[in-house]
Amino acid sequence: ETGVTQTPRHLVMGMTNKKSLKCEQHLGHNAMYWYKQSAKKPLELMFVYSLEERVENNSVPSRFSPECPNSSHLFLHLHTLQPEDSALYLCASSQEPGQYYNSPLHFGNGTRLTVT
């Protein structure tokens, strides 16, 4: 298996549920990212990890909790979400963090999250 794999593809959860999104990359990259994609809005960078260390947190509410146990795996733990959190959540990886000119992002297919 190659590339960036995200599971599940779809997730419906109530506001009181706890769920987790999973991302796995098979590219040997050192950096991993979580993005939020909402309709008619630019992609929003949520978190950046470099070699399992969080290097960027863009003012994301604490109901989103990332975890990076190793350089190949990234999780997004969800708790007490709001309906406005419904979106496509994209995971990405790159060889190095931030050097987009020579280390392009490789995206997974995303998890479509619906909060009811």
Return the HEC string of 38-59. CCCCCCEEEEEEECCEEEEECC
- Contact 5/24 with Cβ under 8 angstroms? yes
Region 65-94 residues binding another protein, contact defined as CB under 8 A: 90, 92
- Contact 4/16 with Cβ under 8 angstroms? no
Phi/psi at 92 (5° precision): -140, 160
- CB closer to another protein out of 6 and 32: 6
- CB closer to another protein out of 78 and 94: 94
Stretch that binds another protein, among 13-21, 59-67, 75-83, 103-111 (CB under 8 A): 103-111
Tell me the closest approach of the beta carbon of residue 55 to another protein, in angstroms.
11
Interface residues toward another protein, by CB under 8 A: 4, 6, 40-43, 45, 90, 92, 98-101, 104-110
